Amino acid sequence: MSDTNKPYLRCEGLSRAFVKKLDLAGRIARSLGSNLREERVQAVDSVDLSVMPGEVLGLVGESGCGKSTLGRMLCGILPRSEGKIYYKGQDIDSLSAQEIKNYNINVQMIFQDPFASLNPRKRVRNIIGEAPLFHKLTTSSELDDYLAKVMLRCGLDPSYTHRYPHQFSGGQRQRIGIARAMAVQPECLVCDESVAALDVSIQAQILNLFMELRNELNLTCLFISHDLGVVEHISDRIAVMYLGRVVEVAPVEDIFNSPFHPYTKALLDEVPRLDRRGVDFTPLAGEIPSPLDPPSGCHFHPRCPHVMDICKKEAPVDMEIAPGRRACCHLATMR
């Protein structure tokens, strides 16, 4: 294990833009002098974030804020537009081929939809067993024992190895997805909305499994979700994203007891809870703006109750507001 003060994964100025190229007619129109432009979505906009070894970092935000894109880039399955990713303190651009391979094995992803992320034409044995065989973590003669161990660990009956994904329920399929990621003995999991599609009782089973795995194997985890209740339950630290930018990062107690950023406050007020009865719902006005045409300055200013003139002109910078807490808001500079 590396030094505990060094982040396991860190990104600096990480950005990703999706560009829709003009079609032929558009290009002709532009050469004739029309002002058609390529459509550009800045899904992730210069994000600095670090995940410490052994911690669970929760990443929350509304749909379309870029949290999945960020997770995919950190996993290395989506190319970056700009910025750097550091794996155990080393820039991944400078890693050797062997180190890249280690990074790819050690950082695994678990996806949202257990129905779409498993190949329907492969048996469980191949789904879970392919990667460890390829990476020579086991041999084909020992594969059965190896699979049995992994599947038991993830709460699956090892006698099911010859079944297909469609023969399982949603909760079990999610366990197969987890077993597939765990089969290569990773150090870090990126879970993208991994419990969003499940019923409450099944969700509880999967969350418990995550927590057990994490405690036993000292896993590092980036847990992406839109469900604040779930994130609060499982995370050590929380990062809140809004329209491609991280607006606040803080330990879980701080963020729930004294949120700083107006967006975080608004988001927390909206969370329905079991102990909140007969609530007068007072919603945050407006909707998340289109990322095709984000507002100027601070992206949150059209919905912010504390909006000032400066917010419309200048984007706030990320700054430390307390030890271990960062926020990106003009209110922080004014204190």
Partner 1 sequence: MSTPLLEISNLKTHFFTRAGVAKAVNGISLTINKGEVVGIVGESGSGKSVTGFSIMGLVDEPGRVVGGSIKFKGRELLTQSVEEWRNFRGNEVAMIFQDPMMTLNPVLRIDTQMIEAVRTHEKVSKAEARKRAVEALAMVGIPSPEERVKAYPHQFSGGMRQRVAIATGLLNRPDLIIADEPTTALDVTIQSQILSEMQTLCRKTGMSLMWVTHDLTVIAGLANRVAVMYAGKIIEEGAVEDVLDKPLHPYTEGLVGSVPSKNHRGEPLYQIPGMTPSLINLPEGCSFRMRCPKATEKCHCEPPVTETANGRRVCCFHPNL
Mask of contacts with partner 1, 212-231, x by CB under 8 A? x-------------x-xxx-
Size of the site for partner 1 (CB under 8 A): 44
Q: Which is nearer to partner 1, 161 or 264 (CB)?
A: 264
Interface residue with partner 1 among 1, 24, 274, 334 (CB under 8 A) is: 274
Interface residue with partner 1 among 91, 287, 309, 314 (CB under 8 A) is: 287
Which residue, among 199, 197, 247, 204, has the nearest Cα to 226 in the 3D structure? 197
CA pair distance 14, 283, nearest whole angstrom? 32
Q: Does 171 bind partner 1 (CB under 8 A)?
A: yes
Amino acid of residue 264 = T
Structure tokens at 85: 């990713």
Interface residue with partner 1 among 201, 216, 293, 334 (CB under 8 A) is: 201
Interface residue with partner 1 among 23, 216, 280, 293 (CB under 8 A) is: 280
Q: Which is nearer to partner 1, 189 or 195 (CB)?
A: 195
Interface residue with partner 1 among 33, 79, 120, 278 (CB under 8 A) is: 278
Strand-pair partners of 174: none
Residues 93-132 close enough to bind partner 1 by CB under 8 A: none
Q: Does 276 bind partner 1 (CB under 8 A)?
A: yes
Which residue, among 327, 330, 335, has the nearest Cα to 308 in the 3D structure? 330
Q: Is the dihedral of CA 243, 249, 252, 255 positive or negative?
A: negative
How many CB atoms are closer than 10 A to CB 221? Answer: 23
CA pair distance 22, 37, nearest whole angstrom? 7
Q: Which is nearer to partner 1, 87 or 223 (CB)?
A: 223
CA pair distance 80, 88, nearest whole angstrom? 18
CA pair distance 262, 300, nearest whole angstrom? 9
Q: Quick one: angle between helices 143-153 and 170-182, nearest 10? A: 120
CB of 285 to partner 1, least distance (A): 8
Q: What are the φ/ψ torsions at residue 56 (nearest 5 degrees)?
A: -110, 115
Quick one: residue 149, left, alpha or beta (phi over 0 = left, psi -120 to 50 = alpha)? Answer: alpha
Strand-pair partners of 221: 56, 189
The region of 101-109, 140-148, 199-207, 310-318 touching partner 1 under the rule CB under 8 A is: 199-207
The region of 13-21, 134-142, 176-184, 207-215 touching partner 1 under the rule CB under 8 A is: 207-215
Q: Does 283 bind partner 1 (CB under 8 A)?
A: yes
Residue spans of alpha helices (H) in 117-227: 124-134, 143-153, 170-182, 200-217
Q: Which is nearer to partner 1, 6 or 166 (CB)?
A: 166
Asked whether the beta carbons of 324 and 312 are under 8 A apart, the reply is: no
Q: Which is nearer to partner 1, 207 or 307 (CB)?
A: 207
CB of 10 to partner 1, least distance (A): 25
Q: Which is nearer to partner 1, 106 or 264 (CB)?
A: 264
Chain mean position to CA 40: 22
Q: Does 266 bind partner 1 (CB under 8 A)?
A: yes
Q: Does 318 bind partner 1 (CB under 8 A)?
A: no
Which secondary structure element, helix H or strand E, spans residue 313, and what is its range? helix 309-313
Interface residue with partner 1 among 271, 292, 317, 319 (CB under 8 A) is: 271
Mask of contacts with partner 1, 239-258, x by CB under 8 A? -------------x---x--
Q: Which is nearer to partner 1, 32 or 200 (CB)?
A: 200
Q: Which residues bind partner 1 (CB under 8 A)?
A: 62-63, 169, 171, 199-205, 207-208, 211-212, 226, 228-230, 232-234, 252, 256, 266-267, 269-284, 287-288
